[in-house]
C-alpha cells in the first residue's frame, strides 16, 4: 500500500502482538455483554479470581449474579443470555487461545488495612471529585478493600458526593445512606 512501508508494517505488527496481553476485565468488556463495563467487570474479576474459565463455568452452573453488589435482574439476565448464544460462546473460547490473560495482582487482600472504616463496604461516587477521575476513584476504593458501586441501592454503605451531584444524592438521602464529601472520605481513608 502507498505510504505503508516496512517500518509502518512493523509498528502495526508490534501493536497487534502487544494487544494480545490483556486482563480479565478488559477481555470481559471487549465481549460487549450488555451493561458489563468497568465496575461490573472488576466485580466479576474479584468474584472469580481473575479466571475466565471459572466465570464461564459459573454462568453455565446457574450462578446467581444478583448476589454481587450492583448486579440486578437485568444484568444477571444479560450475562446468561449472552453466553446462551452459540456464536458468542465460540468467540469467548477461541479468542482466549490467541490471548495472554494476565493474572490480577494479589495485593488486594494483602495490603488492605482491615481496620479502615471502608473495608468490606460498598461505596458509590457521584459528581466530580478533584483531582481524581472516576476510574482512579474506583481503584482507590478497591485498594481500601471496598467495592466501588455504580448505582445507589439498599446495599450501598456510603455515597461520596462531589461537585454537580445528580439523582444519586437524592436516592441516598431517601434510603438513609451515609453521604460523605470528598474531603471526609479522604480523611477517613487516610489519603493525603
The predicted structure's pLDDT at residue 140: 87
Per DSSP, the residues of 2-63 read TT--HHHHHHHHHHHHHHTEEEHHHHHHHTT-TT--HHHHHHHHHHTTT-HHHHHHHHHTT-
Could you report the per-residue pLDDT of 41-74, keeping only the tens digit for each?
988 998 998 999 999 999 999 999 998 877 889 9
Please report, for the chain, how many H helices and E strands are present, in that order. 10, 6
Could you report the per-residue pLDDT of 84-93, keeping only the tens digit for each?
999 999 999 9
Answer whether residue 106 shows pLDDT above 60.
no
Could you report the per-residue pLDDT of 114-161, keeping only the tens digit for each?
568 898 889 999 988 888 888 888 888 888 888 888 888 888 999 999
Spatial distance between the Cα atoms of 93 and 88, rounded to a whole number of angstroms: 9
Contact 76, 44 (CB under 8 A): no
Say what the pTM is: 0.59
pLDDT category at 112 given cuts 50, 70, 90 is low
All cell numbers assigned to 103: 493474572
The predicted structure's pLDDT at residue 192: 59
Q: Cα 138 from chain centroid?
A: 8
Alpha carbon of 34 to those of 77, 95, 105, 191: distances in Å? 10, 19, 27, 35
Q: What domains does the chain contain, in order, with CATH numbers?
A: 6-102 (1.10.150.20), 112-189 (3.40.50.10190)
The predicted structure's pLDDT at residue 120: 83
The predicted structure's pLDDT at residue 110: 42
CB proximity list for 148: less than 8 A, separation 6 or greater: 39, 42, 123, 124, 125, 137, 138, 141, 142
Could you report the per-residue pLDDT of 2-49, keeping only the tens digit for each?
778 889 889 988 888 888 888 999 999 999 999 998 888 988 998 998
The predicted structure's pLDDT at residue 108: 43
Amino acid at each position: 500500500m502507498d505510504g505503508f512501508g516496512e517500518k509502518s508494517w512493523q509498528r502495526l505488527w508490534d501493536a497487534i502482538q502487544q494487544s494480545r496481553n490483556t486482563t480479565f476485565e478488559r477481555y470481559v468488556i471487549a465481549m460487549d455483554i450488555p451493561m458489563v463495563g468497568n465496575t461490573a467487570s472488576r466485580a466479576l474479576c474479584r468474584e472469580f479470581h481473575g479466571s475466565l474459565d471459572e466465570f464461564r463455568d459459573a454462568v453455565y452452573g446457574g450462578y446467581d449474579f444478583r448476589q454481587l453488589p450492583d448486579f440486578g435482574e437485568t444484568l444477571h439476565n444479560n450475562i446468561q443470555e449472552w453466553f446462551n448464544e452459540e456464536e458468542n460462546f465460540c468467540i469467548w473460547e477461541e479468542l482466549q487461545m490467541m490471548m495472554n490473560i494476565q493474572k490480577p495482582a494479589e495485593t488486594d487482600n494483602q495490603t488492605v488495612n482491615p481496620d479502615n472504616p471502608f473495608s468490606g463496604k460498598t461505596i458509590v461516587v457521584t459528581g466530580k471529585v478533584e483531582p481524581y477521575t472516576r476510574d482512579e476513584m474506583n481503584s482507590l476504593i478497591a485498594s481500601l478493600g471496598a467495592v466501588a458501586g455504580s448505582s445507589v441501592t439498599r446495599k450501598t454503605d456510603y455515597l461520596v458526593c462531589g461537585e454537580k451531584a445528580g439523582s444519586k444524592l437524592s436516592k441516598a438521602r431517601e434510603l438513609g445512606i451515609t453521604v460523605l464529601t470528598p474531603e471526609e472520605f479522604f480523611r477517613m481513608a487516610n489519603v493525603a
